[in-house]
Amino acid sequence: MPANLPPQYYALEKEFSKESDPHEKLRLAKELLAIMPKHKGTDKLQADLKAKISRLKKEVDSGAKKHGARQADTISHIEKEGAAQIILIGPPNSGKSSLVDSLTNSSPLIADYPYSTLKPTTGMMEFETIQFQLIDTPPISEEQLDTNVLSLIRQADLAVVVVDVSAPEFEKQLKVLFDRLEEKHVILTAQPAGETGDPRLAYKQTLIAAHKFQDDNGDIGLIKIQTLYPDFTIIPTSIIDDETLNNFRAAIFKSLGIIRVYTKRIGHEVDYVDPIILPIGGTVEDAAYALHKDFAFKLQFAKIWGEGKFEGQRVKNSFVLSDKDVIEFHI
């Protein structure tokens, strides 16, 4: 029986054969297995690929042990917490760690010399009644690109490029970052990208934090970066300016395209904590499913409170919710 492999498979297989880094090779092997048609004609190919994946996993794990710690899994994959996972990337000495420290309680290592961030660290950033997980990462330059960072960018909900706009030649550093990631098939985009049809490519919606814009020459740098990247959302940031940090939090929320929905029990007041997070356009039924699928199945109707709505308005399961709506489920 013929294998009937799709064109994307052969393109990805070529990439796999050229790759030398075991972490990236393992990721590519898993993607090859995922897009391979599952039928009798591919049984042998599936078995061979699974064996390669097994060998690569052992190679990655043994490499971590040689360096004194079992860090491979925790560095290349971080469990998501909060409403969304946001990864911060940037050139050396861009100020990522100080920004994360100001926005969270993670206390990363902060130093005036480059490459002080050696491995990813996480912290939780509050925005009104929800929290976002921020990931600080090792810098990206011509000399350095930690392949684990590629996996973290792929899994994150949103990327933020942090650049010191007061630094001389920051434009060159930024171009190197974009180019090096593109070489590894990670494309930073100004808007959310749909399905590409090419499993090798990872398009990641990205904001740019124009950091240290209040330092000497920072105002000039801010204008320059706005000219160079007009399609991107650019957020001026400074750790000594609380307003810019609040603007950063709000920009993250807006870019994610999500809403917060609060629930209340029948006969009780609403408690504005721990909202249900839904994409814009989410419905009453979606909110019920977020609680439990059996709950959604039994749902008869709901009552809604919110801006522009009648208080306690009775709505159907297909009703489209808005940010900060309060919902009371009836089963």
CB 221 within 8 A of CB 237: no
What is the reported pLDDT for 71?
40
Is it true that domain 73-256 has CATH number 3.40.50.150? no
Residues of the chain with CATH 3.10.20.30: 258-330
Give the phi and the psi of residue 133 in degrees, each rounded to 5: -90, 120
Query: Which residues make beta-bridge pairs with 163?
Result: 210
Distant-in-sequence, close-in-space partners of 311: CB < 8 Å, separation ≥ 6: 305
Rounded Cα gap, residues 290 and 47, in angstroms: 37
CATH code assigned to 258-330? 3.10.20.30
Residues of the chain with CATH 3.40.50.300: 73-256
Rounded Cα gap, residues 26 and 125, in angstroms: 32
For the chain, what is the radius of gyration of the CA atoms?
A: 23
Rounded Cα gap, residues 248 and 80, in angstroms: 20
What is the reported pLDDT for 214?
94
Structure tokens at 329: 């489920």
- DSSP letter for 287, please: H
- DSSP letter for 114, please: T
Rounded Cα gap, residues 308 and 291, in angstroms: 25
Rounded Cα gap, residues 64 and 46, in angstroms: 27
Tell me the one-letter amino acid at 50: K
3-class SS of residue 58: helix
User: Pairing state of beta strands 158-164 and 130-136?
Assistant: unpaired
Distant-in-sequence, close-in-space partners of 227: CB < 8 Å, separation ≥ 6: none
Rounded Cα gap, residues 296 and 307, in angstroms: 24
What is the reported pLDDT for 106?
62
List, for residues 43-97, the tens digit of each pLDDT value.
Answer: 888 888 899 888 888 887 776 555 443 343 446 778 899 999 999 999 999 999 9
Tell me the one-letter amino acid at 197: G
The helix, strand and coil proportions of the chain, stated in percent and rounded to the nearest 5, come to 40, 20, 40
Query: Which residues make beta-bridge pairs with 303?
Result: 314, 328
How many CB atoms neighbour CB 277 within 10 A? 17
Give the phi and the psi of residue 281 in degrees, each rounded to 5: 95, 0
Give the phi and the psi of residue 119 in degrees, each rounded to 5: -150, 160
Tell me the one-letter amino acid at 330: H
Rounded Cα gap, residues 125 and 288, in angstroms: 26
Per-residue pLDDT tens digits of the chain, which is 331 residues long: 566 787 778 888 888 888 887 877 887 888 888 788 888 788 888 888 899 888 888 887 776 555 443 343 446 778 899 999 999 999 999 999 999 999 997 655 554 545 545 578 899 999 999 999 999 999 999 988 988 898 899 899 999 999 999 999 999 999 999 999 999 889 999 998 766 667 678 899 999 999 999 999 999 999 999 999 999 999 999 999 999 999 999 999 999 999 999 999 998 999 888 899 999 999 999 999 998 888 888 888 999 999 888 889 999 999 999 999 999 999 8
